[in-house]
A and B are shown apart, each in its own frame.
Chain A
Amino acid sequence: MSDVQAYPDSGEAQFGDYVALLKPRVMSLVVFTALVGLLVAPVGVHPVVGFAAILFIALGAGASGALNMWWDADIDAVMKRTQSRPVPAGKVQAGEALGLGLALSGIAVVMLALTANLVAAGLLAFTIFFYAVVYSMWLKRLTPQNIVIGGAAGAFPPMIGWAVATGGVSLESALMFGLIFMWTPPHFWALALFMKEDYHKAGVPMLTVTHGRAETRRQILIYTVLLAPVSVWAALTSIGGPFTLATALVLNAIFLKGAYDIWKRPEAQAEGDKYAVEKRVFKFSLAYLFLHFAAFLVEALLKVYGLGGWA
């Protein structure tokens, strides 16, 4: 009998557990939106520089995810959705998550400064600080508007991608930020409506718990209404064009209809059909963001052939 057989399942953290600390699914959204921010910018970058910059933005986002898992290990252990994360599952020590998060944050910011410029690196550093400290440590457990604040952290990547190419911030990048910022509350609150047990158990002041479910439905509608002009405004700038505008109008019409349906129906009806409308709107909200940013990208491609844009 070899030593290996004597320890069939040692519980040792594997490489994949450390990757899981970086929240790879969130990272995929970061990569996509940062890439769009980079590609729709009026200044081109060398493909190798662009690839490396996106990689370091993703690494920075992953690092903030690890810091969040270190800080929120107690909440994660209570909620069903997050119980299997590496720290509450006992695979990785909380201190290791902290060390990995801090080390990767430093590497990502310094490497982005060397690869692109100081503006992009500064924005990335601020994003990590905002997500880990302002959102996770400070406001998440303090206010039911936590989702709105956390949404700002998720809204930075396209702005950083734009800064990698242009070295600055502009109306277009601010509107891409605004698009994700306004989109996050209705997206997340739709989820909170049908995952109600979890947040309640963890004691996180989710809007559904503190202000009731009817108020949450109203807030979803309010933010969706506020999202529409940001989306249309972005489509009217230099990163937009007729194609983007048409896409934005269709997407917002569907999202507004969904938010209106959520607002209008009483809780008993929602419980009756097991939150079918809320689940549908949540799924659509994911498609909304993906398709909206894809439209910016298509518009940029059309411009190459002289077809897109307003000029």
Chain B
Amino acid sequence: MSFRPDHELHQRRLSRNVGLGVTLVAFVVLVFALTVVKVTRGDPMQAFDHTVRPELLPAQTGGTQP
């Protein structure tokens, strides 16, 4: 089995491809960070997890939520 040498196009466009790749990865990271911030709104994320947690229940049923 032999590898073919890179086409010269790959060499010519290396900086463009690497630059675009880094930009896209940075964009994904940014959107993920934004999603975490928007979903949690600064609070730790909590949801129903098959166990009773008072902090998720409304106040009149013994929880702390309004």
Contact = CB atoms under 8 A, between A and B. Distances in A.
Interface of A: 2-4, 6-7, 10, 12-16, 18-19, 46, 48-49, 52, 55, 114-115
B16 A46 contact: no
Nearest to B40: A46
Contacts of A19: 19
Nearest to A17: B16
Nearest to B41: A46
A4 B8 contact: yes
A12 B30 CA distance: 30
Contacts, number: 43
A48 B11 CA distance: 36
B66 interface: no
Contacts of A114: 34
B62 interface: no
B34 A12 contact: no
B50 interface: no
A18 B13 CA distance: 13
Interface string B1-38: 00001111001110110111000000000100110011
Given A2-B5, A3-B5, 4 more contacts: A3-B6, A14-B15, A18-B16, A48-B37
Interface residues of B, number: 18
B8 A13 contact: no
B44 interface: no
Nearest to B7: A3
A46 to B, nearest CB: 5
B33 to A, nearest CB: 5
Contacts of A49: 34, 37-38
B6 to A, nearest CB: 8
25 contacts: A3-B7, A3-B8, A3-B11, A4-B11, A6-B8, A7-B8, A7-B11, A7-B12, A12-B16, A14-B15, A14-B16, A15-B15, A16-B15, A16-B19, A18-B19, A46-B37, A46-B42, A48-B33, A48-B37, A49-B37, A49-B38, A52-B30, A55-B30, A114-B34, A115-B34
